[in-house]
Structure 1
């Protein structure tokens, strides 16, 4: 953790706290609390299942802590795409979703996106899971990290994050701004998608600016009514789960969101996911659900505000004391 500023708050400092649906937040917390093996967290999960009411549970057992690293808060959104695909390639479905090759080692840089796409390094190795009809869909599936594939017979299959090539994520939206093609406020997922489709050759080169390449794995054991698997290998919950930087926010911790922008949000969520672009103490990606509606809502979010993590009481004050020293 890079020398953060830590401020212990009270629940009365959280704008809109009393009006939130704490039961919904508790339900999301229960999805992952059983995986928190730290001694500070273990008893909390037991109490979450059988202890006081939801609001009392959070207020009596947690302390709000504002962790800052000098970078302004940025909220974005993500979703689970639902895409048309096939188990076999043909003239329509020509773009493969790959599982991770065995020679890639975690944390070790491998080939870039351009090198992968312009070579045959993955061909004829049985690594293909599904085939899509649109390379832009494949790119955004990789950005989101999970998705549902609707096959020609109408059945749905799921894929989840299976690893990456060890290269850093770069924003193609920021690249469009850098080139002077759009203003920052004009860039969204839809803007990028339309520009790439209107400019196929330049568009391919634009997407290759992001050297990160994500691989997938089949996820066949998650019920359709549940969300996709997050970084804790549990389903995330629409509008109650966020991706965070675990260097600053423990996975599984409740976090209080005060998002500004056109659609302000005051809500208790649970830190259950991570992302290549989610770096810093005041950085969060809100899960907006599955399909086109979730995608449209997620794509509109690029807002300021603040995020406050709820920590077990002793841990909160120990953290503050450690920073003071």
Structure 2
């Protein structure tokens, strides 16, 4: 490491609280070269069978993301050829098998199974103006928050950003969620919600809608984040002895908040991360993920982009909370601060309470295969110890 980089490393350690998580479309720094054991070469016969309906739906969802991969040298040729494939299961299968290779994902412990969770686009009651019932602000990007792209000076730190506020000539960490909740922030208020727990879950999901009294819905999407690390509020409840690890779900957390309203500020303060939003055009399509294409309910997933490149086509085998199988191709079209690991995915289930019920109870075991263009080098991932 050169002397300037050694000095910068010390600076980054001192400013660790300024490093932002990826809640939106930031590119992560390039990881270390992968160990071959992480991607296990396989065959198409290794994949669990899928229905024709799931095959077509998953292929279509992935192909919708190809508009963002046109300049990607790995995927561009495959995406271009995919546009001409008709909606016929036999021809889709033939296309996939002729252009893509199969690789099974393995954890650092060489396990084939990992954690598959779910997420959704929530709809919460609210108002465009503050009222006695709706008094929880949903903030846009703060006017005084400064974002420093370190790659503009050090290309080796591509994807790393610092977020803070100037205090004289000194850049200091931006406010934590606790401070923002208590003192507010210099930012536009996009809407007002009726429940602080709704705001927390809106930030966890990264997008959502506000149901207004006149019947309209305001659509919100991730815009930025305060630079502090995300810490699951469910973990805090476990540490406090309020819930067991097996009991943690969105429903259980919300129920705890309703039963202990006096402790909700303490619960929310345990997660220093705070997400800022922007208003999005209303439409019938899904919210846009990190790939900036609409997510498809049941066929788009959030992944750890250090392991799986954004835009990749995956083969997912898991179950719903009731045990019924979920086997299908899915598009890796989103990311999330809590989605980390070699065998890890967050399945998007759609919009509204039914999708929320399904997503909130989704803590399943599952396997993931990556379908990778033939002749292309595998992506770099962290080394397996």
Aligned to 1:65: 103
Q: Distance in 2 between matches of 1:95 and 1:203?
A: 13
Unaligned runs of 5+ in 1: none
For residue 107 of structure 1, report the CA deviation from its aligned partner. Answer: 3.5
Contact 2:142-2:187 at 8 Å conserved across structures:
no
Which of 88, 93, 100 pairs up with 2:129? 88
Q: Distance in 1 between matches of 2:72 and 2:379?
A: 15
Larger displacement relative to structure 2 (257-266 or 60-69): 257-266
1:101 aligns with 2:142: yes
Q: Distance in 2 between matches of 1:248 and 1:86?
A: 40
Q: Deviations over 1:10-29 (max 9, x none)?
A: 11111224666221112111
Q: Distance in 1 between matches of 2:85 and 2:255?
A: 51
Which of 227, 232, 239 pairs up with 1:171? 232
TM-score between the two structures when normalised by the length of structure 2: 0.78
Larger displacement relative to structure 2 (69-78 or 240-249): 69-78
SS in structure 2 at match of 1:76? strand
1:210 aligns with 2:271: yes
Check 1:126–1:280 CA distance in 2 against 1; reply closer, same or farther (3 A cut).
Answer: closer
Which of 76, 84, 88 pairs up with 1:50? 84
Q: Distance in 1 between matches of 2:360 and 2:299?
A: 17
Aligned residue runs from structure 1 range 112-131, under 5 A: 112-120=176-184, 122=185, 125=186, 127-131=188-192
For residue 49 of structure 1, report the CA deviation from its aligned partner. Answer: 1.2
Q: Distance in 2 between matches of 1:251 and 1:68?
A: 18
1:276 aligns with 2:317: no
Q: Deviations over 1:93-122 (max 9, x none)?
A: 1001101114241433522111211224x1
Check 1:319–1:144 CA distance in 2 against 1; reply closer, same or farther (3 A cut).
Answer: closer
Q: Distance in 1 between matches of 2:313 and 2:162?
A: 28
Aligned to 1:75: 116
Q: Distance in 2 between matches of 1:153 and 1:16?
A: 47
Aligned to 1:192: 253
TM-score between the two structures when normalised by the length of structure 1: 0.91
1:263 aligns with 2:304: no
Which of 276, 293, 304 pairs up with 1:245? 304
Larger displacement relative to structure 2 (297-306 or 173-182): 173-182
SS in structure 1 at match of 2:83? helix
Contact 1:104-1:165 at 8 Å conserved across structures:
no
Q: Distance in 2 between matches of 1:126 and 1:114?
A: 16
Q: Distance in 2 between matches of 1:188 and 1:21?
A: 27
Q: Distance in 2 between matches of 1:313 and 1:17?
A: 22
Q: Deviations over 1:279-307 (max 9, x none)?
A: 12211100011000000000111111211
Instruction: Count residues with an aligned counterpart.
Output: 317
Q: Distance in 2 between matches of 1:233 and 1:51?
A: 23
Larger displacement relative to structure 2 (101-110 or 204-213): 101-110
SS in structure 2 at match of 1:255? strand
Unaligned runs of 5+ in 2: 1-30, 148-160, 164-172
Aligned to 1:133: 194
Aligned to 2:361: 300
Q: Distance in 2 between matches of 1:288 and 1:104?
A: 34
Contact 2:107-2:114 at 8 Å conserved across structures:
no
Q: Deviations over 1:122-144 (max 9, x none)?
A: 1xx45100111111111100000
SS in structure 1 at match of 2:162? coil
Q: Distance in 2 between matches of 1:219 and 1:84?
A: 17
For residue 43 of structure 1, report the CA deviation from its aligned partner. Answer: 1.5
Check 1:165–1:14 CA distance in 2 against 1; reply closer, same or farther (3 A cut).
Answer: same
Check 1:275–1:265 CA distance in 2 against 1; reply closer, same or farther (3 A cut).
Answer: same
For residue 50 of structure 1, report the CA deviation from its aligned partner. Answer: 0.6
Q: Distance in 2 between matches of 1:115 and 1:58?
A: 51
Q: Distance in 1 between matches of 2:51 and 2:267?
A: 46
